[in-house]
Structure 1
């Protein structure tokens, strides 16, 4: 299941994930024909997490509030990112850990994708 974002698709999330996804911007990139930039705000409830997944494009993530624990197969061990910190996920790399580092406070991040037009931005592993 997905939602349209400038010709791309975003998986709505796993039913038990404890995350809400809000598209905030979608633009085709004139200087990169066939590609779009999509920005989403992901809000994790306390203790919320996403299952293992991968992205069709490169992702820049910026923590807006709270603390996010993240681990990509391409970037090494899991790390906690606090408000104001950012991380990068290379295209296609398995995102092994993506969760709120707190079981008491919500956490929010801005995810900015650059991917081919029409790509499904997030695909969850089965």
Structure 2
């Protein structure tokens, strides 16, 4: 698990200076979601590595959602603290430097900034089918 955390930190450092493309931004409540980078994986034809930056305003949350059916995700907290609940499990708080993973088909029921006064940010690293362009599907 330490190697996954090291990978997340490395990817975060590489893309932290990159600016997000405004055409790939979603604002949902007090959460800003932006596609930060996307590239094919040379030794895995048909697969891509895509990174998404989620910035939560104080007290903000995202609606319940799932992700592309092919998506494996490693989510890393860059700033603050977030409350996460997946697949009916109890909600858990993750602080800066902590991470969790999501498997294809997981249902993300709670995704929120745990603080009412401080912002929070997460970096979501997706390994996904290249053809999957809709990474997050919000409950309707």
Query: Per the shorter chain, which TM-score range?
Result: 0.7 to 0.9
Matches within 5 A, 1:92-111: 92-111=105-124
The Cα offsets for residues 83-111 of structure 1, whole Å up to 9 and x where unpaired, read as 00001011111100000001110000111
TM-score (norm 2): 0.76
Alignment of 1:17-32 (within 5 A): 17-32=29-44
After superposition, the CA RMSD in angstroms is 1.5
Q: TM-score, normalised by structure 1?
A: 0.84
Structure 1 spans left out of the alignment, 5+ residues: 1-9
Q: Would you say the 8 A contact 1:58–1:91 is kept in 2?
A: yes
CA distance in 1, matches of 2:138, 2:83: 18
Larger RCO (alpha carbons 8 Å, 6+ apart):
1
**Any conservation in 1 of the 2:25–2:34 contact (CA below 8 Å)?**
no
Which is strand-richer, 1 or 2? 1
Question: Is the contact between residue 46 and residue 131 of structure 2 (CA under 8 Å) also seen in structure 1?
Answer: no
- Quote the residue 2:81 is aligned against: 67
SS in 2 for 1:33: coil
